[in-house]
Amino acid sequence: MPGKQSQEAQVDVGATEDGAPEALGSLTEEELRQGQEAALALEDMMALSAQTLVQAEVDELYQGVRPLGQGRFGRVLLVTHRQKGTPMALKQLPKASTSLRGFLYEFCVGLSLGTHSAIVASYGIGIESADSYSFLTEPILHGDLIAFIQPKVGLPQAAAQRCAAQLASALGHVHARGLVYRDLKPENVLVCDPACQRVKLTDFGHTRPRGTLLRLAGPPIPYTAPELCAPPPLPAGLPIQPALDAWALGVLLFCLLTGYFPWDQPLEEADPFYGDFLSWQASGEPQDRPQPWFGLTPVADALLWGLLDPHPRKRQPVSSVRGYLGRPWREQEGAGEEAVCGGEGGGNAAD
């Protein structure tokens, strides 16, 4: 399913290193400086963390309780501290597939961002064992957001708006630190309670400083912004911007409101759902509204059009969500929800 894919099909080809205008791509000097400062701060933190890694086997220190999840790069276990009994989530990355630098990078990005209430907090404990690296975070015990999205329906509007507010705030926190998250999808949003009142962003393995040059190496997914699908402006790739996350947030909010993806890929020629969206944006005519968008209000249209502007410089920032909260996003909440999802639509967001 498209939601199980990730944007890591992109290849990290390194951050720009000088401020010469020809090296800036589409970045301003200020944006480039922000990304470079973030990269330097992370390098410092990684050097310090490397010196304080605990050398031990995990089960000497922690008692395994149960698996919490498995990703492509690591597994996550619920553990308790052997002396204190404190429950924690332990993410374990095998050395066979993770370098020390890769581990330190993910550990330190999570540590530097985890002070935000909608980002999983890190305990700042890194462990090197014979075969793996591990770090500890707060455990979030109600699974990820994908399990809460009812296929062809989405989430109740109030829950969708709460998620939108919290995720926009978390991403704004990431962006304010000169970083781009790059992996927004329901699987990386953990749910803190059965009513989905509070959510937290996790998995910072793909987060990079603003201005890092990236290019797409695999097929795009719904969350991939269209500028990444175009030929890169610099031979080494596109200098990444927070606008990539704004696009992914727009796609995620569409999924939360409809239970469908708006398209499979943002490619006009290859994806009729994306083509129809562009035609509707160009005409603005109600009769051009694509079927998956039936049932959304003009307020939701305005929010999503802003986040899903194909031009990254015109795209609204994640903070724009704030201006749309507390107003109706679906025409008919409750009984009307089925009607929202009656069309063919893009792929099912919870398949």
Ligand X SMILES: Nc1ncnc2c1ncn2[C@@H]1O[C@H](COP(=O)(O)OP(=O)(O)OP(=O)(O)O)[C@@H](O)[C@H]1O
User: Would you tell me which residues interact with ligand X (CB under 6 A)?
Assistant: 6, 68-74, 76, 89, 91, 120, 137, 139-140, 144, 187-188, 190, 202-203, 205
Q: Strands, E, within 279-327: which ranges? A: none
**Cα R_g (the chain), whole angstroms:** 20
Work out how close the CB of 178 gets to ligand X at its nearest, in angstroms, rounded to a whole number: 22
Degrees (nearest 5) of the Cα angle 243, 1, 72? 75
Work out how close the CB of 254 gets to ligand X at its nearest, in angstroms, rounded to a whole number: 20
Instruction: Classify burial at 44, counting beta carbons within 10 Å of its beta carbon; exposed 0-12, middle 13-18, buried 19 or more.
Output: exposed
Closest CA to 23 of 15, 35, 12, 13: 15
Closest CA to 93 of 191, 179, 205: 205
Active-site residues: which are they? 183
Work out how close the CB of 81 gets to ligand X at its nearest, in angstroms, rounded to a whole number: 15
* CB 209 within 8 Å of CB 17: no
Closest CA to 250 of 342, 317, 193, 199: 317
Work out how close the CB of 138 gets to ligand X at its nearest, in angstroms, rounded to a whole number: 6
Cβ distance to ligand X smaller for residue 107 or 280: 107
Ordered DSSP codes for 319-340 = GGGGGGTTS--BSSSGGGHHHH
* Residue keyed to tokens 């097929």: 219
Cβ distance to ligand X smaller for residue 6 or 16: 6
Binding residues: 91
Written as one letter, the residue type at 44 is D
Dihedral angle at the C-alpha atoms of 206, 12, 93, 50, nearest 10 degrees? Answer: -100
Binding residues for ATP: 91
> d(Cα 303, Cα 328) in Å, to the nearest integer?
11
Sorted by sequence, the CB contacts under 8 Å of residue 230 that are 6+ apart come out as none
Secondary structure (3-state) at 70: strand
**Pairing relationship of beta strands 122-128 and 54-55 according to DSSP bridges:** parallel
Ordered DSSP codes for 105-147 = HHHHHHHHHTTSTTBPPEEEEEEE-SSEEEEEE---TT-BGGG
